[in-house]
Structure 1
């Protein structure tokens, strides 16, 4: 099992787009078959990042297929237009 964690910082003034992006990520659950589980949350504290995705995949090949899926790419395109930073980690669990 692979756990994929991504965190983002967003540009100020993009709150509507942030909500649209995060909802788009949530809506991929049950649509992209390789995505076994996902959780999308907004930071409620004073942390360095604004939002986080925690997702799980059977293996690295499934994660690669998810990344290449056109539905994921469409959601990611919105993120690329509003983010100022991104950090990610993938690990076996």
Structure 2
């Protein structure tokens, strides 16, 4: 099992929305992928509730059977669309992939 975790710090305003609105858009669009991309075994998106300046705003936790399945997910056109949107609204991104 491959675990894929990504966290983003978002810009205060971007693409005509405030940070909190963009966080909700990310959550909705990424979680909707579970019904589109069959390689996703589990996906969850959390919106930060911690006020710390070192906290990130949104986190993605997802699971895949294999690295190949993760790669298919990352290249899927629907994922690419969301990734392009996130690229426009984020300040920073961190990622961890590991085998469990």
3-state DSSP of counterpart to 2:69: helix
The 4+ residue runs of structure 1 with deviation greater than 6 A are none
Q: CA deviation at 1:26?
A: 1.0
TM-score, normalised on structure 1?
Answer: 0.93
Structure 1 residue aligned with 2:7: 7
- Structure 2: unaligned runs, 5 residues or longer: none
> What RMSD over aligned residues (CA atoms) do the two structures have, in Å?
1.1
3-state DSSP of counterpart to 1:8: strand
- Structure 1: unaligned runs, 5 residues or longer: none
TM-score, normalised on structure 2?
Answer: 0.87
Structure 2 residue aligned with 1:86: 93
Matched residues, number = 93
Following the alignment from structure 2 to structure 1, what is the Cα–Cα distance between the partners of residues 6 and 49?
A: 16
Structure 2 residue aligned with 1:41: 46
Which of 9, 13, 17 is the aligned partner of 2:22?
Answer: 17
Q: Is the 8 A contact 2:23 2:47 kept in 1?
A: no
